[in-house]
Amino acid sequence: MIGRRQHMALALTAVLTAAAACQNHGREEAGHAAPSGSRSRGFTLVATGDVLPHTSVIDRAAYDSGEGGYDFRPMLSGVQPVIAGADLALCHMETVYGAQGEYSGYPAFKSPPQIAQGLVATGYDGCSTASNHALDDGVEGIRRTLDAMDQAGLGHAGTARSEAESRSVTILKAGPAKVAHLAYTFGTNGTPLPLAQPWAVHLIDERRMIADARAAREAGADVVVVSVHWGTEWQDAPDGLQLGLAQRLTAATTDGRPDIDLILGTHAHVPQAYEKVNGTWVIYGMGDQIAGQMYNGQGVRDPRGNESTIGRFTFAPPVRPGARWQVTKAEFIPQLYDLDVGRVVDVNRAIDDGADLEGVRDRIRDVVLSRGAAKDGLVMGE
What does the pLDDT read at residue 197?
A: 98
What does the pLDDT read at residue 19?
A: 33
**pLDDT digits (tens), the chain, 382 positions:** 334 444 444 444 333 323 333 333 232 233 333 333 445 799 999 999 999 999 999 999 999 999 889 999 999 999 999 999 999 999 999 999 999 889 999 999 999 999 999 999 999 999 999 999 999 999 999 999 999 999 999 999 999 999 999 999 999 999 999 999 999 999 999 999 999 999 999 999 999 999 999 999 999 999 999 999 999 999 999 999 999 999 999 999 999 999 999 999 999 999 999 999 999 999 999 999 999 999 999 999 999 999 999 999 999 999 998 899 999 999 999 999 999 999 999 999 999 999 999 999 999 999 999 999 999 999 999 8
Burial environment of residue 62 by CB neighbours within 10 A (0 to 12, 13 to 18, 19 or more): middle
What does the pLDDT read at residue 277?
A: 98
Can you say how many angstroms the Cα of residue 98 is from the centroid of all Cα atoms in its chain? 21
What does the pLDDT read at residue 39?
A: 52
Can you say how many angstroms the Cα of residue 251 is from the centroid of all Cα atoms in its chain? 21
What does the pLDDT read at residue 262?
A: 99
Rounded Cα–Cα distance for residues 359 and 296 (Å): 20
> Is-contact 345 303, C-beta < 8 A?
no
Number of residues assigned to the chain: 382
* DSSP state at residue 287: B
Could you give all domains of the chain from N- to C-terminal order, each with its CATH number?
A: 7-13+40-380 (3.60.21.10)
What does the pLDDT read at residue 313?
A: 98
Helix 114-122 / helix 55-65 crossing angle, nearest 10 deg? 70
Segment 320-326 long-range contacts (CB within 8 Å, at least 24 positions apart): 322/255, 322/257, 323/257, 324/223, 324/257, 324/258, 324/261, 325/42, 325/177, 325/222, 325/223, 325/261
HSE toward the beta carbon, residue 373, CA cutoff 13 A: 25
What does the pLDDT read at residue 231?
A: 98
What amino acid occupies position 13? T
Q: Is this prediction's pTM over 0.75?
A: yes
